[in-house]
């Protein structure tokens, strides 16, 4: 096996019988020079050595013999066993307190006696490396161990030590998120004096009517323009979660509503197709979307007078659309545009966002708006993917409307057919 590092083993006060060992691994001078990395678990039993190297019977020391050489004194051996069998959390915390210093992806210095080479990994004839299927690898190849993972493999103690470090970072992020939420609430309110009108299932409505008797209103700006044949698939993926938590918001004095520029009939038909129940209003022919920078005219698009996500965009003629959505190229955006039955320019005249409003003493105030990746926190599936082993793992636009996946008519929680 290529790339297996020889592991240095410390043998204190070696007896004369050990002097003649052919010693494939080097003898360490101190415990802190003992390096155990990912490759250590792939080494053969006994003294760890490069695979394929022949050794004498003297080299095939068992773990008990090494422990005897390592701690000949019975009291030290007893203390060693007590430490090794201690609470794993305490051992892991010991590692995090500078008892384990990282030296890179495959090398770490172990000073914790619970993780020294006393515990020997034995080869059982099967490849001990964890294997996972990759693109182009079928299950049969996977089962035969032809493909090995490139991800770091560690012990439970190493995992726990790293997890505790990550936990501190997660707690800090949570505290920081709480602070940012407080700062959002402390933003000054801007009085909305303009009379906005919408078409809803109940008829014509004002912005105040969208509150539906509550004091707070959250509006999701859904990309569904007048020329769209169907709603944006990205916005659709976000809206898939609205039915679930909308009822909870409604019972906490918050109304969640969606606004788009498509005609109401289009919105209702698409809403029925998707199986949604949240309120959806049309702002067609009104200024609401333009005033909140989620819609733009063809002239704005050509002249580069577009402001989105609190900054001015370059003229669309440079890259055919503004850089804020192309992210260096229009390939993915063109693919999304095609799913709505439009071209790139028409598709990007609508933008995603959300805005918050409060109603107090009969007056509506605008309190907050966010756009672009500011919506990530509202996109439920990404919160789960960010905690999955391979994360978002994206190569282009992979998501679809929920009724467009293969077998979408079946239960999403049912096992995949063989």
Spatial distance between the Cα atoms of 295 and 348, rounded to a whole number of angstroms: 8
The secondary structure of residue 121, as a DSSP letter, is P
Residues contacting residue 202 through CB under 8 Å, at least 6 positions apart: none
Task: State which of 123, 146, 171 marks the end of a domain.
Answer: 123
Tokens in use for 297?
Answer: 């005219």
Spatial distance between the Cα atoms of 217 and 41, rounded to a whole number of angstroms: 56
- What pLDDT does 241 receive? 93
Spatial distance between the Cα atoms of 153 and 311, rounded to a whole number of angstroms: 44
The answer to whether residues 227 and 368 belong to one domain is yes
Q: What is the pLDDT along the chain (418 residues), one digit of tens a residue?
A: 444 444 444 434 444 444 444 444 444 444 444 343 444 443 333 333 344 444 444 444 444 444 444 445 555 444 444 444 455 555 555 554 544 444 444 433 333 333 333 333 333 333 323 333 334 444 444 444 556 788 999 999 999 999 999 999 999 999 999 999 999 999 999 999 999 999 999 999 999 999 999 999 999 999 999 999 999 999 999 999 999 999 999 999 999 999 999 999 999 999 999 999 999 999 999 999 999 999 999 988 888 788 899 998 877 654 444 444 444 445 688 889 999 999 999 999 999 999 999 999 999 999 999 999 999 989 989 999 999 999 988 888 888 999 999 876 545 665 655 5
The tally of CA atoms less than 13 A away on the side-chain side of residue 76 is 9
The answer to whether residues 194 and 285 belong to one domain is yes
Task: State which of 74, 93, 123 marks the end of a domain.
Answer: 123
Q: How many residues belong to the chain?
A: 418
For the chain, the domain total comes to 2
Range of the structural domain that residue 118 is part of: 16-123
Residue 368, domain CATH: 3.40.30.10
Spatial distance between the Cα atoms of 333 and 359, rounded to a whole number of angstroms: 37
Q: Is residue 90 part of a domain?
A: yes
Tokens in use for 249?
Answer: 């918001």
Residues 263 and 227 sit within 8 Å (Cβ to Cβ): no
Of 70, 25, 69, the closest CA to residue 47 belongs to 25
- What pLDDT does 142 receive? 45
The answer to whether residues 85 and 207 belong to one domain is no
């Amino acid at each position: 096996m290529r790339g297996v590092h020889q592991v240095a083993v410390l043998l204190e006060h070696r007896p004369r019988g050990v002097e003649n060992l052919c010693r494939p691994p080097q003898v360490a001078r101190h415990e802190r020079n003992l390096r155990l990395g990912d490759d250590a678990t792939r080494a053969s039993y006994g003294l760890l050595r490069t695979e394929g190297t022949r050794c004498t019977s003297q080299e095939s020391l068992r773990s008990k013999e090494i422990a005897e050489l390592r701690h000949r004194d019975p009291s030290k051996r007893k203390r060693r066993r007590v430490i090794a069998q201690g609470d794993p959390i305490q051992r892991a915390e010991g590692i995090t307190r500078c008892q384990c210093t990282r030296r890179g992806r495959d090398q770490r210095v172990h000073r914790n006696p619970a993780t020294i080479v006393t515990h020997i990994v034995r080869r059982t004839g099967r490849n001990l490396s964890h294997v996972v299927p990759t693109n182009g690898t079928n299950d049969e190849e996977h089962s035969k161990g032809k493909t090995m993972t490139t991800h770091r493999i560690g012990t439970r103690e190493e995992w726990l030590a790293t997890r505790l470090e990550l936990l501190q970072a997660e707690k800090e992020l949570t505290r920081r998120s709480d602070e940012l939420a407080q700062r959002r609430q402390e933003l000054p309110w801007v009085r909305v004096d303009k009379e906005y009108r919408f078409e809803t299932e109940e008829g014509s409505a004002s912005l105040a009517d969208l509150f539906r008797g509550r004091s707070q209103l959250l509006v999701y700006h859904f990309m569904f323009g007048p020329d769209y044949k169907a709603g944006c698939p990205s916005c659709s993926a976000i809206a898939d979660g609205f039915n679930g938590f909308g009822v909870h918001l409604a019972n906490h004095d918050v109304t969640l509503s969606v606004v788009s520029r498509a005609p109401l009939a289009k919105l209702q038909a698409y809403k029925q197709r998707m199986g949604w129940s949240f309120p959806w209003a049309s702002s067609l022919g009104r200024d609401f979307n333009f005033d909140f920078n989620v819609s733009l005219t063809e002239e704005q698009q050509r002249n580069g007078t577009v402001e989105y996500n609190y900054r001015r965009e370059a003229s669309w003629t440079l890259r055919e659309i503004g850089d804020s959505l192309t992210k260096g190229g229009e390939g993915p955006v063109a693919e999304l545009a095609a799913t709505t039955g439009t071209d790139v320019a028409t598709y990007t005249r609508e933008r995603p966002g959300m805005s918050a409003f409060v109603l107090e003493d009969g007056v509506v105030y605008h309190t907050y708006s966010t756009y672009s990746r500011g919506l990530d926190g509202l996109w439920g599936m990404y919160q789960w993917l960010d905690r999955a082993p391979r994360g978002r793992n994206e190569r282009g636009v992979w998501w679809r409307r929920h009724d467009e996946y293969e077998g979408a008519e079946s239960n999403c929680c049912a096992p995949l057919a063989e």
